[in-house]
Structure 1
Amino acid sequence: MTDRWDAIILGGGPGGSTLAASLAKLGRRSLVLERETFPRFHIGESLLPRSREVFERLGLDEKLDARFLRKYGARFLCSSTRRTRTYSFADAFDPKFEFAYQVERDVFDQLLLRHAAELGAEVRESWEAVEVLFDGSRAVGVRARPRARSEGAAPDAASAARAGASDVVELRAPIIVDATGRDTLLASRLRRKAQLAELDKTALFAHYEGVVREEGIHQGNIQLVIFDHGWFWFIPFRGAVTSVGAVVSSSWIRSRRRGESLDHFFDRTVAESSWARELLAGARRVRPVGALADFSYRIDQLAGDGWLFVGDAGGFLDPLFSTGAHLAIKGADLAATAIHRALEAGDTSRAAFASYEAEVRYAVDLFLGVVQGFYKGHFRETLFEPNQRPTMRKLITSMLAGDVFHAEKRPQWASFLRQYYPAEVPTFT
């Protein structure tokens, strides 16, 4: 008797959806279990150009271009010195993809999940995994159930027919993938999790109308405003709405007054930055402020016998360079290839996923070293250096474009970046 699916994917966000779509392109059968019913709100709205390598291969690029605002670069603004610097993706060492997209994640994530289903993946929304099943150290399946009405949206009719609202069923596959994002379902129960040095930050976020934007081709650029307590993002969408958030230090969070609302605290945070005040001077908040605390972490192992992590489930990095969705999308594409080869070889042990883990770690650590360098201050100065050399500009632009996956040949500029901004990773004992 053969398994009904080649892989069961827990989570239907960008990582899970991309993996399911990529597996379908390879002729593999997958089941996606998504706890929520899409669309649903999510932050992480600015994509990177190199994700379009995957979008093109999956037949998604035209759909995205028809719906979302193009992002041709990133503009950095320093509140204390009033310096600005714009990096255009066309100036990267490899400028094949000169723009990305700014996306409302509810729309984007739903589009990706529907596309995976169109390619042949089985998708069950409003289904939650209760437990991953193991035979010794090997993952062999999951126990899952459709969510009851009291826990969220009701399951669809097909799901309800498969199992009663309170019934738990066992689902089997040779590969189980945790793509549950920050919920880290499998990691929380199986692996060790550690915070990343220099990144004990909190994100505050909201949506506004009427935010000042750049003009012409640059209207879709992300604007990153640096101030004494951290930095702001300004991510424009097609239309009038802009996502605005602040990633701030733990010391600034402690300055929040007893009983002070998040909305008021965010307004006070904006008042600390000259650039943020100007960009929001005529704006109107259209979504209440939310918060995510201490959200950068690393998992000690990305794969094992019959299981692996994709995207945020295997670790999350400070959103300074909009890396979250990119690492999930590119990592999922790599995971699909690794799973396909493992199934062909009849070997789904951890060793079969060694190259996948190494490639993802390499990409994450390239970003991590620079993010940590930013918070220490020296990379921040490099961003605004008045007499910046053209090679350094290309190096920074290539990193900002997401050109961090180099399985075949690692370019000299990436080695330079790793040498001067080495990642400080936690030690697991």
Structure 2
Amino acid sequence: MKAHLLTIGDELLIGQTTNTNATWLGEALSRIGVHVERSVTVGDDADAITRELDRSYEEAQLVITTGGLGPTHDDVTKSIVSEYFDAPLETDDELLERVRQYYERRGREMPPEVADLATVPRGFEKLENKVGTAVGLWYAESGDDGERLLAVLPGVPDEMRSIYDNGVEPRLSERADLQDLVHKTLLTTGVPESSLQQKIGDLSDWLDGELKLAYLPSTSGVRLRLTAMGRDRDVAERRIEALEEELRDRIGKYIFGTGKDTLEGVVGDLLREHEWTVATAESATGGLIGHRLTSIAGSSDYFVGGVISYANEVKINTLGVSASTLKAHGAVSQPVAEEMAAGAATKLGATIGISTSGIAGPGGGTEEKPVGTLCVGFARREDGKVVDLDSVRLQLTNDRVLNKELFATSALEMIRRKILW
């Protein structure tokens, strides 16, 4: 089944409100085997809404709209739907009484214009709203080219989700023409998207119209979304399992988790499993590594503490970085990053120290060390002595905020790599 989503509201176009409805609906529909072919956002303009509704209703079997069902002058969706389907709006007495009681329970008199909430286009089913006052609408029509389905939902996310869960999805799930759709997400890190694709290599013998692989980059790495569809769910699941096994054979060392795992959570589990503790020495990341590590419940099992050594004086006086090393190589250098990591582990009594020193931008770069340069240092102690001292230099982006996220991810990935590799 092909679906189009039509999200309505000026506030979505001007960026005043984030369009979470389209994202949520796309995921919810995919879970039950509905293929969302198109998603479009329009403002509170009758002509624009009508054009998009007309296109979607011609091209897709299922159309879902969100927004424009309230009682104010800019809420025009219901009247447009009424006109488009030549379905006059009729007052539903039961619904009108419920709206009136809604206001009475709050000690308010129902404004006259709110009575519009109790109107329903003739021939449409009501979809109960357990959260607010604007009901959803459902319309099914059969024609020479097959059946068309329309769900008209409020734009308020909580109300939209409630109506979808209780009214739309049950109607869709009863249908026999839905394919089973199986998703699995593999999480990778430590390798950019282009390099990852090269390492995976040719999958033409694996992928087809019913088995797909998508690359989804993020600041924590690249997510690989595996999708299988078909009439038989068991077959789809077996195809996903086989593709996952093949990917793990090819790029297994870069895969750190699945689904909703986080890199910091996986690193924390590894530290706990090995009974290691970690201390941080952060310059460019300004405490972000510590923040991510401590966002995991139970992180006190392995996180000792950290030093935000932004100034060279702090690097020298608190972490014990040599002034001569700083003078010879500069703060953003692998030798300094290594001494920072060793200092963090030694001064704070941790098994390992991890450090970052870099140029986040937008200024401060040079020809030798441009914006986006990052040095990550690693030190591991054993019996009170540093037995493993290492570092890497990376070149990342020109965006300061993005760089800080990528810098922290690189540090966490180095911990993971050192434990596993």
TM-score band, normalised by the shorter chain?
under 0.3
Structure scoring higher RCO (CA < 8 A, sep ≥ 6) equals 1
Larger radius of gyration: 2
TM, length-normalised to structure 1: 0.24
